[in-house]
């Protein structure tokens, strides 16, 4: 059954849905401004903020890239991205004209200091034109190889020195293992101070992810049972229907473990399991998240073999169409050992979660695109029902749906009408769109806004990045030493290899799958 908002004053929204007040003057510099991320995510998100009046008039975007664009050609390319990905429908000519006038382009050689000196001159010229000291946001929408290069040049020309106005945004992946993550964090902090560094993960821009803390800590009926006494286990699933989508050259070196677990999934674990912070101050929240990540039980080589599963998709049926095996995808080695599916069992060694397993999985070419967190509660005693026709009791499940539909559902048992005691499983569903209306979102709008106002709550700190890699490093090492013998081991359009089901079945549990 669906919970519906009553048509009374009690259903009004207590706080505005739109962004908070606009940041001050901002110059948003996108390194890789002619690339896919700027076209698909960043500029559509900034346009959304513009349309919702979350930016001041003193706002500019400078795209920096190698391509031979002019201001006009860059604006034309970006308008196409806004039309497709902003979620706002048709682009209104008046709004676009006002927004496009803020966009300019600088052709660059990322390895030449002349590029950064030219950028510094442009930024200082805007200081004079605006008679202000705007915030500088340097967003690295570039290949990972440049993340260790650009900050050093920005520091060399003095653009990192002004701590109150200069901020740098770094996309995942932050490194490819623990050692490289440490090196990259060292490189970043040699040029910028930690409060200036915003390690972005677009998953944290999704409303349901942000709502985890509100749901847990603002509702007195849930927090008292959010512990090992009442919760049997937790499942976190990130399922994708797509393959590598033209990213074979990147993905074949990364794989699903590196691509998803140290960042996206570790963030979901920490928000689900953290203790209440003393406030919503960025470091107070991130301190509690970091404590959870540090409390994850270390994984031995034996644990890797018994508590983790890797898979690679073969050909199969997806959406009624036959799709190819991973090894036949473009830019993928024909004998690739790269995993496209990962499942694992983790334990958190603290008072709240001792003995409660966290089961994680992520994979490509699965039957449905769905990200969700399942909280399964312990079963009620059966003693009352032993002389009835009820054979077993279904455990209650609370599900946080993160994508594609955002919402929360609660599964519980109810008596089936009739003279005999029979139980049926029913759901109470809360859907964001139904209550609050559909909010256009790429996942970046809130994050970019927070970056501009200097709020780091939804961004990873250096220690969080490193401990995330520390959790998965034993798997990376052992999987490198012991190549898989049975790849591909699941067909496209299925829920992964049978070993992933067996991972839970050994504990008397099963995955919760959601399909259309």
Cα distances from 467 to residues 182, 272, 282, 294, in angstroms, run 10, 17, 18, 6
Contacts of the segment 125-128: beta carbons below 8 A, 24+ positions apart: 126/27, 126/60
> Cα-Cα-Cα-Cα dihedral of 64, 67, 73, 77, to 10°?
-80
Cα gap 65→97, rounded to integer Å: 23
For tokens 């040699």, what's the residue?
190
Query: Which stretches does DSSP call E strand in 312-432?
Result: 313-314, 316-318, 321-323, 341-347, 357-363, 370-377, 397-403, 407-415, 423-431
Buried b or exposed e, range 328-341, using 16+ CB within 10 angstroms: ebeebeeebbbbbb
Cα distances from 99 to residues 28, 104, 181, 438, in angstroms, run 13, 11, 37, 23
DSSP element (H, E) containing 268:
helix 266-273
Taken as a whole, the chain contains a residue count of 516
Q: Which of 368, 369, 349 is nearest to 358 (CA)?
A: 349
Cα gap 234→231, rounded to integer Å: 8
Catalytic residue among 50, 264, 372, 401: 264
Q: Is 34 exposed, middle or buried (0-12, 13-18, 19+ CB in 10 A)?
A: buried
DSSP element (H, E) containing 41:
none
The answer to whether 136 and 96 are in contact (CB under 8 A) is no
For this structure, is 264 an active site residue? yes
Cβ–Cβ contacts within 10 Å for residue 219, how many? Answer: 11
Cα gap 393→459, rounded to integer Å: 41
Q: Please count the CA atoms within 13 angstroms of the CA of 111 that sit on its side-chain side.
A: 1
Cβ–Cβ contacts within 10 Å for residue 175, how many? Answer: 22
Please identify every residue annotated as catalytic.
264
């Amino acid at each position: 059954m669906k919970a519906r908002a009553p048509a009374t004053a009690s259903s009004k929204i207590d706080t505005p849905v739109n962004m908070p007040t606009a940041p001050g003057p901002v110059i948003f510099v996108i390194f890789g401004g002619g690339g896919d991320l700027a076209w698909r995510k960043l500029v559509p998100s900034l346009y959304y903020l513009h349309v919702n009046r979350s930016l001041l008039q003193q706002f500019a975007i400078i795209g920096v890239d190698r391509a031979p664009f002019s201001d006009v050609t860059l604006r034309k390319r970006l308008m196409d991205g806004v039309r497709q990905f902003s979620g706002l429908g048709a682009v209104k000519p008046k709004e676009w004209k006002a927004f496009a006038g803020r966009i300019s382009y600088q052709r660059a050689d990322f390895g030449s200091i002349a590029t950064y000196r030219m950028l510094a001159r442009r930024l200082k010229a805007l200081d004079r034109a605006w008679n202000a000291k705007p915030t500088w946001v340097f967003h690295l929408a570039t290949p990972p190889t440049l993340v260790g290069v650009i900050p050093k040049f920005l520091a060399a020309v003095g653009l990192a020195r002004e701590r109150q106005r200069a901020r740098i945004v770094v996309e995942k992946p932050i490194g490819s293992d623990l050692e490289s993550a440490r090196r990259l964090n060292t490189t970043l902090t040699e040029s910028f101070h930690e409060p200036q560094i915003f390690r972005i993960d677009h998953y944290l821009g999704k409303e349901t992810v942000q709502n985890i803390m509100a749901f847990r800590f603002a509702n007195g009926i849930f927090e008292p049972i959010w512990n090992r006494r009442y919760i049997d286990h937790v499942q976190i699933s990130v399922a994708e229907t797509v393959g590598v989508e033209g990213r074979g050259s990147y993905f074949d070196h990364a794989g699903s473990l590196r691509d998803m677990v140290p960042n996206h999934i570790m963030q979901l674990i920490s928000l689900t399991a953290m203790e209440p912070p003393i406030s919503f101050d960025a470091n107070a929240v991130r301190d509690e998240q970091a404590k959870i990540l540090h409390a994850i039980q270390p994984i031995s080589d034996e644990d890797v073999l018994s508590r983790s599963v890797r898979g690679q998709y073969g050909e199969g049926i997806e959406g009624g169409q036959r799709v190819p095996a991973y090894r036949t995808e473009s830019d993928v080695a024909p004998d690739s050992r790269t995993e496209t599916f990962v499942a694992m069992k983790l334990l958190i060694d603290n008072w709240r979660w001792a003995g409660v397993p966290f089961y994680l999985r992520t994979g490509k070419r699965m039957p449905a695109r769905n990200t969700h967190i399942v909280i399964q509660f312990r079963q009620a005693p059966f003693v009352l029902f032993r002389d009835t026709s009820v054979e077993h009791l279904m455990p209650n499940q609370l599900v946080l749906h993160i994508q594609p539909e955002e919402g929360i559902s609660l599964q519980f048992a109810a008596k089936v009408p009739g003279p005999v005691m029979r139980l049926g499983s029913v759901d109470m569903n809360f859907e964001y769109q139904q209550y609050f209306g559909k909010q256009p979102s790429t996942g970046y709008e809130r994050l970019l806004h927070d970056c501009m106002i200097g709020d780091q709550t939804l961004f990873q700190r250096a220690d969080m990045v490193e401990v995330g890699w520390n959790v998965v490093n034993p798997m990376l090492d052992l999987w490198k030493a012991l190549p898989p013998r049975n790849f591909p081991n699941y067909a496209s359009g299925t829920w992964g290899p049978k070993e992933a089901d067996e991972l839970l079945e050994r504990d008397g549990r099963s995955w919760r799958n959601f399909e259309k």
